[in-house]
Each structure stands twice: as C-alpha cells, then as structure tokens.
Amino acid sequence: MKLWSKSATVTNEAIERFTVGRDRELDLLLAEYDVAGSLAHGAMLHSINLLTGEEWQLLQRHLRIIAGEIRLGHFRIADDVEDIHSQVELLLTQRLGDVGKKIHSGRSRNDQVALDCKLFFREELRHIVLATDALFTQLLRLAEAHKTTLLPGYTHLQIAMPSSFGLWFGAYSESLVDDVSMLLAAYRIVNKNPLGSAAGYGSSFPLNRRMTTDLLGFDDLNYNVIYAQMGRGKVERIIAQALSSLAATLGKMAMDITLFMSQNFGFVSFPDDLTTGSSIMPHKKNPDVFELIRARCNRLQALPNEIILMTNNLPSGYHRDAQLLKEAMFPAFESIKSCLAIAEFSLKQIRVRTDILSDERGKALYAYLFSVEAVNELVLQGVPFRDAYKRVGDDIAKNRFTPSGTVNHTHEGSIGNLCLDEIQSAMQQILAEFSFERVTQAMKRLLGDE
C-alpha cells in the first residue's frame, strides 16, 4: 500500500526496493510514536469538526488497540506496505472502513515522519541522559573513594606532575556534565512540534497546532511550516554533535583505561571475567571492552560529518535524501547506549593500585613527578620562581634531586580540593531542566496508559 497511489499504476519492483530501502525494518522503532501522533492529530481533527464524536471514539479505540499490539510484538509492516505510516492507516481502513481513511486529513507523510522521528529522538535522548547520569554517579563515587590515591600525571606521555585517581575520575565526571549540557540543547530543539506543517506549506484546514503540541508533551512548536520541514537533517545534525561530544569523553576514558591496564603502566585492573584472552598466549588479559568502546566512539564522532554531507546542499522543502538519516541515526543511539552501560558496569569492578608512587619501583621511576613541588617550596621560602626553577633543574641534572613524595594542593579542582559536590550540583541543575516527567505523563494520557 502506498499513501500516494492515485491509479492502477504499479511501481517498478526494482524502483520500489531501492526507494523503500530499510524503512520497513527501521520504521518498527517508530511504530508506537506514529500511533501517538495519529491520536493527537485525530483529537485535533475532532476539535475542528473534521471528525464526528463517534468517528473519533472509534479511531481512538482502534489506535490504542494497535499501540497494544505493538507493545506485545504482534505488529508488523507487511511486505507490500511502504512504511509505518501506510501500515497504521491501512489497519485503520481495514478495521473501520471510510472512518479510517479520514485520519490523514490535514497532514502529509512529510510531517508524520518528522513528528515520529522527533518523538523517537526525544525518548532516546532521555535514555541516553539517564545512562550518562548513572555513569557520572559511578565516576563520582570512585573519585571520592580514591581521592587520596596518588597517580602519575603525564604530558606528551612523559612523566609530568602528581595526579590522583580522585582527580582522574573527577575529570571525566565533569566532562559528562558538559556533555549533558549539549544533550539538553539538542533535547530542546527536538522537543518542538512539526505536526501541521503537512508537506511543508501548511494546510487550508483550520488546524490547531497548539493543541497537538500540548497533547504530545512538546515544549513548543516549530512555527514556520517551511522551517518545520527544513528541520529534517538539522535536528539530526545537532543530536549527532551532542552524541559526538559524549562519545569523545567515553573514547578518551577508554583509551586511558586501556593504557593504564597495560603491564608497562599497571595502574588499574579488572576481574578476569571482564577481560578476554588470546588463542596462543595463555597469559593475556585483554581490555577488549574498552578497545571496542574506543572504536565505537570514534565512529560516533564521525556521525555529524555524515549528516552534514548528506544534507548540506539541499534547498528548502522536503527531499527523499532525508530518508537515509534514519539509517545513520538509529544505530548510533544503540551504540552510545551500549557504551554507556558497559562502561558503568565495568567501572563498578575496577581495581585501583594504591602504591604506584610509594613502592620501591615507584619511588625510583616517578621521583621527578615532584620537581614542581620542590620548585614551589623554594618559592614559598622567598626564592624567585625562575631562580628556584633553575636550582631544581640543576639538582636534577647533577643527580642531587631528592623528592619529597608529598603534595600540598588546596585550590579549587586540585588534588586536595576536588570540588566533587560542586560538580554534582552542576549536573543536578542541568538534569532538572529536562521535561522528562511532563513528557512521560502526556504520552501516557494520549495512549490511554493512565
């Protein structure tokens, strides 16, 4: 079935296969959102007298029945049906006859797919934010637990200055705060209603777009109907940029852990059942989880470019190019969610070495970590900084340097003052700006789940 069929003309089979692409597969992820959109649209059509009370009650009941079938896994898109929009309308028409045909008044597949994708994106962003917060909480716990455990700091992969596991875990915690800020910006842009823009030029019906906006739990609507369609690609690009930021944090953390697990570092380890082995080397305990997080996150950081190259030279109005956005975006959500989940799971079982700097090997290997501490100590005694720097440098060159092995950092964000409460407060303030609960309640009312 094709919503655009007007005669007995049959599309060439090869053309149909190519143009439908993966829609039948990917659109199943949009199924419940398509029903929700039809429920909001139907309620609005009834309010402007394009559906009678009886017609609307029939449509509402059967749309909710279809929603139940979707949740039970009893719903499918038939092989001869083009997409989710066609399948839902076909079911309504089969079950209700002419009443089912009325649901499409005042809308186009263009605004249907834009709406369905936004509803789907909105829910996926919710899952990602909650998973990010769970990882954030785990990192904060580790930062607090290991705030006094010293760790070598590196620049240029050369031994640099003292760090601590608390400082290291805390750094990734705060990085996630900024990533959630970007997710919030994406969420705010996603959470605007495109329904009523029809094919991109509005409708001569007196549609009540504010009504569907409220029913679907959106914060606002895309006012200009052309812009509502121009948002295809832009919305995906903005989400991709937020996912890319989050992926960059996860990828860098995975790289650190992979490095720290190697025998040359030996800073952290995991239980054997969280590592993998070698087919010929019986001693191997490989960090495959973190290598795959790194690879997945590198690929996710390419996502904004893929979206840009797919959409950046399109004029206004709808173009079929936008169909391929689903193929790029939908797997990306699954990938980032799996990375977040496995990272949190693994970090719950991380083992931190507490004697890296204090055992005999560490004292010899990391002695120069404390050179800056020695310089600063001289400065505190009144020696000009540049003179102190030269004096310690000369001691190192002549093998006279004796490290203190202690640190005294007290300023905000340093080893002795991690500001974990402030970092947690910053995350809580951002999380409070998401409208998750209001959206959830709106969708429950619409689908009859209350």
pLDDT digits (tens, 9 = 90+) for 11-25: 777 776 776 667 777
pLDDT at 186: 98
Per-residue pLDDT band at 425 (split at 50, 70, 90): very high
Residue 39 has pLDDT above 80, yes or no: yes
Q: What is the pLDDT of residue 2?
A: 54
Q: Mean pLDDT lowest for which of 13-17, 152-156, 224-228, 413-417? A: 13-17
What's the pLDDT at 258?
Answer: 95
Contacts of 397 (CB under 8 A, 6+ apart): none
- Neighbouring residues of 111: CB distance < 8 A, sequence distance ≥ 6: 194, 195, 196, 197, 198, 199, 200, 228, 229
Q: What is the DSSP pairing of strand 150-155 with strand 351-352?
A: unpaired
More confident residue, 429 or 264: 429
Rounded CA-CA distance 289/88 in Å is 40
Q: Which of 277-286, 331-340, 439-448 has the lowest mean pLDDT?
A: 277-286
The per-residue pLDDT for 122 is 98
Residue 3 clears pLDDT 90, i.e. is over it? no
Question: What is the band of 324 on the pLDDT scale with cuts at 50, 70, 90?
Answer: confident
Q: Which two tokens stand for residue 80?
A: 């001869």
Residue with the bigger pLDDT between 178 and 403: it is 178
Q: What is the mean pLDDT of the chain?
A: 92
- Res. 172 pLDDT band, cuts 50 70 90: very high
Q: What is the set of domains in the chain, with CATH numbers? A: 13-104 (1.10.275.10), 109-155+162-208+220-357+421-435 (1.20.200.10), 360-397 (no CATH)
- Max Cα-Cα span within the chain: 95
